[in-house]
């Protein structure tokens, strides 16, 4: 993947549309091809907790959840570092470590990726390679297929913390009682 390019990648939940972390051209393409509002952030996928040291801050409670559920279907909204804010203007960011081996390999190859579900905004994520090629083939440089990995068809659970309590922003594969 080169600057300005997007890829389609498998995850342990749904296919994702991905750009390199600080690639503003590719990030803008994601918003355009999805018809996504600019006010909605694009989450980050990582392959190791070490990758977020310059991106986000976290406490023991968040670290416990990362150790317990990553890699896996838990997305955590965290406060960002001053350095990340200067680069992106984002004071919080959603971060997840997927379980899919190909996703982890792509993150190892390209670094932290901005990844959002593969769909037009407001529509269900695409799962068929034929539909993916038809809808997004003209805007991506590569489509990496799911392979033999048995994935969930349920998106990740997205959480944040308020007053030191877990708040579910989007219910997904992991339930609240598993997080407490």
Q: Which residues, listed in sequence order, are joined to residue 44 by a DSSP beta bridge?
A: 95, 114
Picking from 175, 127, 151, 148, the residue whose alpha carbon sits closest to that of residue 71 is 151
The pLDDT tens digits of the residues spanning 93-147 come to 999 999 999 999 999 999 999 999 999 998 988 889 999 999 999 999 999 998 8
Give dist(CA 82, CA 177) in Å, integer: 33
Contact 46, 179 (CB under 8 A): no
Main-chain dihedrals φ then ψ at residue 114, nearest 5 degrees: -85, 120
Give dist(CA 138, CA 1) in Å, integer: 15
| Pairing of the two strands 44-45 and 92-96 | parallel
Q: What is the pLDDT of residue 164?
A: 86
Task: Examine the pLDDT at 150 and tell me if it is beyond 90.
Answer: no
Picking from 27, 23, 31, the residue whose alpha carbon sits closest to that of residue 110 is 23
Give dist(CA 158, CA 113) in Å, integer: 17
The pLDDT tens digits of the residues spanning 33-63 come to 999 998 899 999 999 999 999 999 999 999 9
Average pLDDT for the chain: 94
Mean pLDDT of 8-33: 95
Domains of the chain: 7-179 (3.90.870.10)
Q: What percent of the chain has pLDDT over 70?
A: 100
Give dist(CA 167, CA 156) in Å, integer: 14
Q: What is the pLDDT of residue 180?
A: 79
């Amino acid at each position: 993947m080169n600057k300005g390019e997007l890829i389609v990648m498998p995850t342990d939940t749904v296919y994702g549309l991905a750009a390199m972390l600080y690639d503003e051209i590719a990030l803008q393409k994601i918003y355009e091809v999805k018809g996504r509002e600019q006010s909605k952030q694009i989450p980050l996928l990582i392959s190791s907790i070490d990758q977020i040291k310059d991106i986000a801050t976290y406490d023991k409670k968040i670290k416990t959840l990362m150790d317990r559920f990553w890699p896996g279907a838990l997305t955590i909204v965290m406060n960002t570092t001053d350095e990340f804010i200067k680069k992106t203007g984002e004071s919080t960011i959603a971060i997840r470590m997927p379980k899919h081996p190909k996703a982890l390999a792509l993150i190892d190859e390209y670094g932290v990726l901005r990844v959002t579900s593969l769909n037009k905004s407001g529509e269900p994520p695409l799962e068929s390679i034929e539909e993916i090629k038809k809808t997004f083939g003209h805007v991506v440089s590569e489509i990496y297929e799911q392979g033999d990995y048995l994935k969930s068809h349920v998106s990740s659970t997205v959480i944040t913390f308020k007053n030191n309590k877990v708040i579910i922003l989007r219910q997904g594969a992991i339930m609240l009682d598993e997080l407490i």
